[in-house]
Amino acid sequence: MGKIKTIKDYLSESSFFEGMKDDHLELLSGCGGIQHFKPGDFLIKEGEEANSFYLILRGEIAVESYAPASGPIMLSRSGPGEVTGYSWLFPPHRNQFDSRALTKVDAIHLDGKCLRGKADNDYELGYHLMKRFAQLVLQRMHNTHRQMLNVYGTEQQVDTSGQ
Amino acid sequence: MTPAVNKKNPMLPFPCRVIETREEISGCLSLVLRSEDNAELSFMPGQFYMLYVFGHGEVPISVSGFSSETDRLVFTIMNVGSVTRALCTVQVGDTVGIRGPFGSTWPLEQAKGRDVLIIAGGLGLAPLRPVIYHLISHADDYGDITLLYGTRSTDTILFQDELAPWDKLDCMQVLVTVDSAGPDWTGHVGVVTELIDKAVFNPSQTTALTCGPEIMMRFTVHALLDQSLKSSDIFVSMERNMKCALGICGRCQYGPHFICKDGPVLRLDQVDHLFKVREV
Amino acid sequence: MSDVFLPHCLDRKELSTLFDALKSEGYLTVGPVKRDGALLYDEIECVDDLPIGWTDEQEAGSYRLKRRNDDALFGYNVGPHSWKTFLFPAKTKLWSASKPNKQNSGNFIFKEGNEVPPKYAFIGVRACELHAIQVQDKVFMGGTYQDPVYSGRRQDSFIVAVNCAQAASTCFCSSMETGPKVGSGFDLSLTEILNETDHYFVLEAGSERGVAILNTLPTRPAEQNDCDAAALRTENARKDMGRSIDISDISELLTRNYDNARWAELERKCLSCGNCTMACPTCFCSKVEDVTDLTGEHAERWRSWDSCFTLDFSHIHGGSVRSTIGSRYRHWLMHKLSTWMDQFGSSGCVGCGRCITWCPVGIDLTEEVRAIRDSEKGNTHDG
């Protein structure tokens, strides 16, 4: 019979925190716990004070922005092993979008203020955290820029039938 | 000045004649109307009229011209439905029915003596143009005027020929941004909130006015609050379904507010709890 | 003080004199009739047109007529109709327009309607309904611009109110403080007294118009035992009251529960059929249709009842703001019990229970409020 997993266990198994030192993971795990969501529940609500980082263990979430008449516009989708919630990293510490559970979701929640506090006290921890977030955000930004190119919008069929 | 609303039958429009049409951006037409019997036509910046096209119906359209001109009304209309499509195909000399003016106004009094920061998105520049005209012609009563205007692309920039002259005025600064552009564009590229960092204003002395798609107004408002503006100094212009403009058909309700009489201009502290809720 | 405002008694056999008096003043008498398995409101000529000896049995999603074991004239509560059917007609022409220079011209002229509003005498208005009329008065006549259709019919309307002697299981006017005894705003009120020996009405005038009519009727001044009998009837109705609702802090309660899970749960029940809005005596939402004839030279604008439960109701470019049924129910309930107060200074609900009776799936707004209130007690937030 396996032992009950701790927060630290979950963090160490995730690809996001891969390579982080044991004592750093210990520090991080002190910032949170497991939370459970029903389909439709909000993990993060646009406009509110940003204080939450989530590592998804089970289920899927969507990052959305709601427009009246069109309904929620899905900006991205994340599943097990992926993360959501970075607005706690820097001022103004305000959630910019909604993060909503599409299915039942189990996630590790880490408190933003706690994480910032620990990073301020331990620069090595801070550096390793920032490195991982910077890489994720860079990747997301490049992908978003590619989306903005609207490559399909100007697609035309090539017709060389002689016009 | 008497409003163009028939007190005995307030659903009955007054006939006006189209005296000029002006093509704005693609799918968008400005109409200039004059009353059939040359009656005075008035409005305050932010207000709207119901416009009727024979047999098609009525739509609420914000006035987009000079509030100081009382012999005409200018409306800027985007072709998005059957009535607006009919309005976008009227000819000079045609009759258009009007009822109004209705609704609340941009806070000309509250903003006196203060800097005014105007953030417009897309077609949202049209309901803001009358307040810009007013501020410019009463520049001594106000501090610095800043217009931040964001739109999808360079060919959806509304009133483009007025933007540069406004920017040249001493009292006003204009910054324009598009979501994406070709190589000839010399303005900004990005969302309109990015321009807030580039604008010069004193947050505690600033009144902010914003109009555009609701998502855009939401993130604009968050950016303004993050710059330490108070929610009682931020004004938005809301839009909902509307049939009567009299507070009787019930359709334009936004929480407790009737957009036709309590709005369309609303102060942020009156609606920020509603902004947070979907489908309200 | 004139004694014409004190209670009087009118024998049941003389009730026809009330109809005669109203008709001679030019009123079109309207009241309850038994038709299509329900008690509806329609034009009535005489006492015999009333649903004599009938009563109703109401529950959530259920309405049945039953024979009484007496010949009471007003021994029932409210049916699917309300007086808004007459004051705020379901379909009305607002105006017409025409193109004098034929259809290809861009010019047209407007023509106002010349409707002479009917002069109604409403017979059998219950306390809840009297409140509902006053609530709609504020909507249609209390703003900057009055609605001429409503005000034209309302200004000359004569109200003969009736004090309920029983309550349906869906009634909750007591908790809404709108009944069962009729308050003010009526012209005449009747309380029906029916026992082994007597059948008569205790009448009270509530206005000068009511006094004028009362003076023409063969009444006698009411004595203490008459007034006691009337009071007993009202007490009976109060005891009978089928439901209750706690509206003590209803506005604050609902405003902080926009995100309550209950709204999404209602998705599984509510059909968005709009029956509640049609039956509700205070619902006032409408739509407007602009139509042309086949020649294209004549146009008309018509107003008709609409419901916030339709998708079209909240449609703005591209879609509806309230696309889910849960959001539409939330809008209706919050308007009725909360935002109505901000808009018009009173609740939009009068406790008549029609929305409960006429909901095909039996949704009960008193139950919904209770559920939301309960959800706040011992609420554990999971995340």
Mean pLDDT of B103-109: 98
- Residue C317 has a pLDDT of 82
Structural domain contains residue B24: yes
Burial of B63 (0-12, 13-18, 19+ CB in 10 A): buried
Whether the predicted pLDDT of C381 surpasses 90: no
Q: Which of A45, A67, A149 sits opposite B214 (nearest CB)?
A: A67
- Cβ distance C318 to A71 less than 8 Å, yes or no, reads no
Residue B2 within a domain: no
Q: Has residue C364 got a pLDDT over 50?
A: yes
pLDDT over 90 percentage in chain C:
90
In the prediction, which pLDDT does C112 show?
80
Segment C242-298, tens digit of pLDDT: 899 999 999 999 999 999 999 999 999 999 999 999 999 999 999 999 999 988 899
Q: With a cut of 90, say whether residue B88 has pLDDT above it.
A: yes
Does residue B164 sit in the same domain as residue B248? Answer: yes
Residue B43 inside a domain? The answer is yes
Q: Residue B216: give its domain's CATH number.
A: 3.40.50.80
Residues of chain C with C-beta less than 8 angstroms from the C-beta of B8: 112, 148
Chains that touch A (3 or more CB pairs under 8 A): B, C
Question: Do residues B255 and B153 both lie within one domain?
Answer: yes
A71 vs C315: CB contact, 8 Å cut-off? no
- Nearest-CA distance from C109 to chain B in Å? 7
CB pair distance less than 8 Å for B54 and C292: yes
Question: Is B7 domain-assigned?
Answer: no
Looking at every residue in chain C, the average pLDDT score rounds to 94
Identify the CATH number of the domain in which residue B83 sits: 2.40.30.10
Say yes or no for a CB contact (<8 Å) between A47 and B179: no
Residues B150 and B215 in one domain: yes
What residue type is assigned to position B199 of the chain?
A
Q: Residue B180 falls within a domain, yes or no?
A: yes
Give the mean pLDDT of A118-131.
94
- In degrees, rounded to 5, the angle at the alpha carbon of residue C351 between the alpha carbons of residues C347 and C357 is 130
State yes or no: pLDDT of C3 exceeds 90: no
Instruction: Point out the residue among C95, C291, C308 whose CB comes nearest to the CB of B250.
Output: C308
With an 8 Å Cβ cutoff, the interface of chain B facing chain A consists of 179-180, 213-215, 218-219, 222, 225-226, 275-276, 278-279
**Closest CA of chain C from A163, distance in Å:** 38
Model confidence at A161, pLDDT cuts 50, 70, 90, reads low
Most B-contacting residue of A44, A66, A95 (CB-CB within 10 A), to test interface: A66
Residue A1 confidence (pLDDT): 58
Chain B: touching chains (3 or more CB pairs < 8 Å):
A, C
Q: Is residue B37 in a domain?
A: yes
**One domain, residues B87 and B140:** no
Q: What is the mean pLDDT of chain B?
A: 96
- On whether both B123 and B31 belong to a single domain, the answer is no
Q: Are C163 and C181 in contact (CB under 8 A)?
A: yes
For chain B, what's the residue count?
A: 280
pLDDT of residue B215: 94
A68 vs C316: CB contact, 8 Å cut-off? yes
Is it the case that residue B50 has pLDDT exceeding 70? yes
Residue B227 resides in a domain: yes
Cβ–Cβ below 8 Å for A68 and B222: no
Cis amide leading into B101 (omega within 30): yes
Calpha distance C118→C83 (Å, rounded): 14
| Mean pLDDT for the stretch of residues C2-14 | 87
| Mean pLDDT rounded to a whole number for chain A | 91
Between CA C143 and CA C132 the distance in angstroms is: 17
Give the pLDDT confidence of C187-239 residue by residue, as tens digits: 999 999 999 999 999 999 999 999 999 999 999 999 999 999 999 999 999 99
CB contact under 8 A, C383 and A68: no
Which residues in B lie closer than 8 A to residue A47 (C-beta atoms)?
A: 218, 222, 275-276
For residue B9, tell me if it sits in a domain: no
Please give the torsion angle defined by the CA atoms of residues C11, C14, C18 and C24, in that order, rounded to the nearest 10 degrees. -160
Residues 112-131 of chain B whose Cβ lies under 8 A from any Cβ of chain C: none
Q: List the one residue out of B19, B10, B105 whose CA is nearest residue B58.
A: B10
| pLDDT over threshold 90, residue B77 | yes
Backbone Cα Rg of chain C? 23
Q: Rounded to an integer, what distance in angstroms lies between the CA atom of residue C346 and that of residue C339?
A: 9
Among candidates C315, C317, C383 on the partner chain, residue whose Cβ is nearest the Cβ of A35: C383
Tell me, what's the pLDDT at C1?
42
B266, B200: one domain = yes
Express as a percent the part of chain B with pLDDT over 90: 96
The last residue of one of the domains, among B45, B77, B102, is: B102
Tell me the residue range of the domain where B21 lies. Answer: 14-102
Based on the domain organization, do B84 and B147 belong to the same domain? Answer: no
Q: Do C382 and A35 touch (CB under 8 A)?
A: yes
What are the pLDDT digits (tens) for B208-230? Answer: 999 999 999 999 999 999 999 99
Residue A3: pLDDT band (50, 70, 90) is: confident
Residue B159 confidence (pLDDT) above 70: yes
Burial degree of C220 (CB within 10 A; 0-12, 13-18, 19+): exposed
Domains and CATH numbers, chain A: 7-140 (2.60.120.10)
Q: Classify residue A2 by its DSSP letter.
A: P
Q: Are residues B88 and B30 part of one domain?
A: yes
Please tell me the distance in Å from C383's CA to the nearest CA on chain A.
5
Percent of chain C with pLDDT over 70: 97
Across the interface, whether the CB atoms of C321 and A69 are under 8 A apart is answered yes
Domain co-membership, B181 together with B123:
yes
Amino acid C101: pLDDT: 77
Interface of A with B in 50-89 (CB under 8 A): 65-68, 72-73
pLDDT of residue A156: 61
| Per-residue pLDDT at C382 exceeds 60 | no
A36, A41, A71 member nearest C323 (Cβ): A71
End of a domain among B45, B79, B102?
B102
pLDDT at C115: 79
Query: Among all residues of chain B, which has the CA nearest to that of C296?
Result: B55
Q: Is residue B68 located within the same domain as residue B179?
A: no
ipTM over 0.90: yes
B6-26 pLDDT, tens digit per residue, is: 999 999 999 999 999 999 999
Do both B217 and B154 map to the same domain?
yes
Q: Is the same domain home to B74 and B19?
A: yes
| CB-based contact C288 B243, cutoff 8 Å | yes
Question: In percent, how much of chain B has pLDDT > 70?
Answer: 100
pLDDT(B152) > 70: yes
Of B102, B124, B147, at which residue does a domain stop?
B102
Q: Is 0.90 surpassed by the pTM of this model?
A: yes
Gyration radius of chain B over CA positions: 18
- Whether the CB of B37 is below 8 Å from some CB of chain C: the reply is no
Count up the domains in chain B and report the number.
2
Which is nearest to C259 in space by CA: A98, B25, B259, B251? A98
Confidence category of residue A163, pLDDT binned at 50, 70, 90: very low
For C291-345, give the DSSP string. EE-TTSSEEEEEEEE--TTSSGGGEETTEES--SHHHHHHHHHHIIIIIHHHHHS
Nearest to C264 among A40, A43, A109 (CB): A40
Q: What is the pLDDT of residue C191?
A: 98
Cis amide linkage into residue A92, ω under 30° from 0: yes
pLDDT band at A150 (very low <50, low <70, confident <90, very high): confident
Residue C383: per-residue pLDDT: 36
